[in-house]
Amino acid sequence: MVYQNSKSQLKQQGLAPNKKLGQNFLVHRHTAQRIVSLAGLSKQDTVIEVGVGLGALTTPLAEAAGRVIGLETDSGLIRLHKKEGSLPDNVELIHQDVLKSDLDQLVRLSGGRRLKIIANLPYSISSPFLFKLIEGHDYIDFAVVMLQKEVGLRLVAESGTKEYGVPTVMLASCAETTILMRVKPEEFHPRPKVDSVIVRLAFQPVPSRVSALGKIDFNLLKKVVNGAFGQRRKTLLNALSSTWLLDKQAMEQCITASGLKPSIRAERLELEDFVRISRAIRDKKNS
Ligand code: SAM
């Protein structure tokens, strides 16, 4: 069934999908319902929906969860929902840019519980949004996110491939990532030019691979991973030397002490290698 309201509702209100805000609205109710059911919510849950749009996901979310806190940056859409009263009673709409939102405040709004997030956002802000989730991983239970297919595949890439990079490693350091389903362009109005995927990022329980590593210095890991991939064609030694974390000789000792060759490239390293190098760098700096 196609949502009556996607095209016609916009037209009636004199609104048009805003390209800059990445407004590609889901049009099939069963697809929205499938996405929501894959999130695995219960009536005890408060869910944060990011990018409410016309409410395609909001209504099934309101049926599956106890409460929905919906964030939307477009004031025209906020006005539309307020005027029409089109959203269920257990939905609270907040006019907010998610990139500026305070996760701590959202946790308070969620009754002090870690966040359960569903997001269908413009693909132009996927990267800052994903890094916001990575930075705020302690505040989050899980996030179910619509992404451009290529971006989603990058998050689950194997080491040694060109898709493997900073987001893959940083996400592996705090979450278990699973591709839940693919979504075709014809599921949206207007149709995007790319295929999409729904990805689940499970921050809780902490993945066993991460807990096996013990306490991770997240800020240092971030510097090391960014430095290593910043010049991914260079050897690890050359790439890390230009981070100025240590001089070249000390950096070489850290890499060797971590059981790696200085000539290796970043894309060959697993999360565990990056954590070992970070520890060796920290120890060297403290010695
Ligand atoms: N959830 C709806 C759906 O699935 O049909 C709408 C999805 S549409 C791809 C993205 C929505 O996110 C739009 O309504 C847009 O206005 C909103 N949006 C864009 N940037 C945002 C931001 N920084 N913070 C919150 N919402 C944003």
Q: Is the CB of 51 under 6 A from ligand 1?
A: yes
Q: What is the pTM of this model?
A: 0.95
Q: What residue's CA is closest to ligand 1, atom 8? A: 23
pLDDT at 152 over 70: yes
CATH number at residue 160: 3.40.50.150
Q: Are residues 33 and 150 in the same domain?
A: yes
Residue 129 CA, ligand 1 centroid: distance in Å: 12
Mean pLDDT of 268-273: 98
* Number of domains into which the chain is organized: 2
State if residue 99 touches ligand 1 by the CB under 6 angstroms criterion.
Answer: yes
Q: Are residues 63 and 204 in the same domain?
A: yes
End-to-end CA, the chain:
66
Question: What's the pLDDT tens digit per position in 116-134?
Answer: 999 999 999 999 999 999 9
When computed from its CA atoms, the radius of gyration of the chain, rounded to whole angstroms, is: 21
Domain boundary, last residue among 186, 211, 236:
211
Are 39 and 180 found together in one domain? Answer: yes
149 and 59, same structural domain? Answer: yes
Looking at the structure, tell me whether residues 202 and 224 fall in a common domain: no
Q: What is the pLDDT of residue 2?
A: 42
Q: How far is the CA of 180 from the centre of ligand 1 (A)?
A: 20
Query: Which of 9-13, 14-18, 38-42, 48-52 shows the lowest mean pLDDT across its residues?
Result: 9-13
- Domain endpoint, select from 211, 239, 259: 211
The answer to whether residue 221 scores a pLDDT higher than 50 is: yes
pLDDT beyond 90 at 224: yes
244 is in which domain, residue-wise?
218-286
